[in-house]
Amino acid sequence: YSIRLYGAGTSDQRIIFAYYAGGAQVVQGVTNITTGSWKHIGVMYDDVANDIKLYIDGAEEAFTVTSGDPENNSLSANTANIEIGRYNGNDQYFDGPLDEIRLYSRALSSNEMLQLYRLTSPTGTDTGLKGYWAFNGQDMSSTTAYDRG
């Protein structure tokens, strides 16, 4: 799986969610995101129900789906480690701050995505929370962020 911004310049960036389902599939949001300001990005992928949703600042985002990767990188089924801020195991890194990253083992509803946009830390009702990286204080050591989930 890969979640990233894709596009040229600082005002033509769009959310990309790439995943492997018998071949590379790419979901691309339609809204241009201007870099330089905080954005809450959410992706919900339910492989059983074959359902995908993208969110920007708690609101559902329209998208298109294509086969193959727009950057022509190989995306395949694997058991590789999760890499946050690095694309597909190569030397392409996200150029900006990251904060409050969560990974769930279940599909979240639109209302839950909106609630997460408004939250600052996980609550006791976060069922299915498998990973939580706050990227601050005691959760950091040099370039490593530790999971609090």
pLDDT in tens, 34-60: 878 888 999 998 878 878 899 999 999
Which of 1-5, 30-34, 53-57, 70-74 comes out lowest in average pLDDT?
70-74
pLDDT tier at 30, thresholds 50, 70, 90:
very high
Sorting pLDDT into bands at 50, 70 and 90, what band is 25? confident
Strands (E) located in 85-135: 86-87, 92-93, 101-104, 129-133
pTM as predicted? 0.78
pLDDT of residue 75: 47
